[in-house]
Amino acid sequence: MITFEAVRKQFPDGTVAVDDLDLELPTGRITVFVGPSGCGKTTSLRMINRMVEPTGGTIRIDGEDVRSKPPAALRRGIGYVIQHAGLFPHKTVIDNVLTVPRLVGRGRERTRALELLERVGLPEAFADRYPAQLSGGQQQRVGVARALAADPPVMLMDEPFSAVDPIVRQQLQEEFLRLQNDLGKTIALVTHDIDEAVVLGDRIAVFREGGHLAQVGSPQELLTEPADAFVRHFVGRDRGYRGLSFQGSEDLPLRPLDGVRLDEAGRPLDVEGTFRSGDSLRVVIDLTLTSPTGTAVQVDAEGRATGLVHHHDVVDLLEKRR
Ligand code: ADP
Ligand code: MG
């Protein structure tokens, strides 16, 4: 668990980037920092690995003040991924991964680095290429592999998928969720994109101007119980999103049903509109809740909620059926 206790950062020029931040990031989960540009997300992230030192308050990892270790020691346990992967241009893909000190297993470093690259979706054929010979999305994959190389329990990710085009972004998000499903890292991920926050976040912290926290909660809580007009507008319920309707039997990528409250029959609460079950085993139906993020609830033949899907997938299916 990572905790922020009354954390404040005022830069020497007087700018208050983060003000009195209290926040808990649960172990093994993805906590997303989301909000408009300039509201203190990156600064908050960088205080965790001491790239920025707070001017007030305390940050702890598993109860231990991050200042109790020298920064270099602290950072061995914290992977860091940024928007433009930050690869060494003169090193090959595999050498970029191998720059991480203490990559496990003497003499097996190359094998281990290849395994990691494979896990992030880069087969061996890419190992000896240079970053300039990769697409943006592929560079981000290398960045993720490198951050994972030392097998750190904590990962900080600053807009890791923002620089890639929407289709690749969605693919990277899904692969990343699958990977995280296996790895169970404690992750803080920054994005300015509420759709991405809802897709990736187990828990979402909405920041607002001046480095204030507007609301913290599960994706569903933000969508259904926005704390104020700012959050309501930010998650898009002011924007008149209509939702989607779909019935079918296709398998769609699922994420866990975290944060959706269910009634006694296992039907999701907080959902405006109705859902009906069809003949097929897997059905996604009639959700006006879906919000701009288009998160839809998937239900089984008895109408029990079984998971969440992203509206892009539903739209894809509808397109294909036309
Ligand atoms: P975000 O990641 O949410 O876009 P940042 O954390 O980068 O926001 O920045 C928060 C605020 O702090 C902004 O007003 C920004 O201009 C300011 N800021 C960031 N870094 C510095 C710095 N090194 N010196 C002065 N102000 C800074
Ligand atoms: Mg930022």
The pick from 7, 9, 11 for probing ligand 1's pocket by mutation, whose C-beta has the most ligand atoms within 8 angstroms, reads 11
Is there an atom of ligand 1 within 6 Å of 17 CB? Answer: yes
pLDDT digits (tens, 9 = 90+) for 47-106: 999 999 999 999 999 999 999 999 989 998 999 998 887 888 899 999 999 877 655 445
Q: How far apart are CA 52 and CA 50, in angstroms?
A: 5
- Interior CA angle at 46 toward 63 and 43, to 5°? 115
Q: Which residues of 24-38 are buried (b: 16+ CB within 10 A; e: fewer)?
A: ebeeebbbbbbbeee
Nearest ligand 1 atom to alpha carbon 18: 10
Question: Cβ atoms within 10 A of the Cβ of 209, count?
Answer: 13
Neighbours of ion ligand 2 (CB under 5 A): 42
Q: Note whether 262 and 305 are within 8 A (CB).
A: yes
Long-range contacts of 313-321 (CB under 8 A, 24+ apart): 313/252, 313/253, 314/244, 314/246, 314/252, 314/284, 315/244, 317/246, 317/248, 317/250, 317/252, 318/244, 318/246, 321/248
Q: Give the angle subtended at the CA of 118 by the CAs of 144 and 256, to the nearest 5°.
A: 65
Q: What ipTM was reported for this prediction?
A: 0.98
- CA 16 to ligand 1 center in whole angstroms: 8
Mean pLDDT of the chain: 77
DSSP-derived pairing of the beta strands 212-217 and 56-61: unpaired
Domains of the chain as residue ranges with CATH? 2-235 (3.40.50.300), 241-322 (no CATH)
Report pLDDT for 269.
53
For a ligand 1 pocket test, name from 7, 13, 18, 42 the mutation site with the most ligand atoms within 8 angstroms of its C-beta.
42
pTM of this structure:
0.75
* Burial class (CB within 10 angstroms; exposed 0-12, middle 13-18, buried 19+) of 318: middle
Q: Where residue 136 falls among pLDDT bands split at 50, 70, 90?
A: confident
Does 37 sit in the ligand 1 pocket, CB within 6 Å?
yes
The confidence score (pLDDT) of residue 278 equals 31
Q: What is the mean pLDDT of residues 220-242?
A: 69
pLDDT recorded at residue 315: 46
Q: How far apart are CA 179 and CA 120, in angstroms?
A: 8
Rounded distance between C-alpha atoms, residue 50 and residue 152, angstroms = 16
Rounded to the nearest whole angstrom, what is the distance from the C-alpha of residue 33 to the centroid of ligand 2?
10
**Ligand 1 pocket mutation pick from 15, 34, 55, 213 by most atoms within 8 angstroms of CB:** 15
With vertex at residue 20, the alpha carbon angle to CA 18 and CA 24, rounded to the nearest 5 degrees, is: 95
Structure tokens at 239: 């924007």
The finding on whether 107 has its CB within 6 A of some atom of ligand 1 is: no
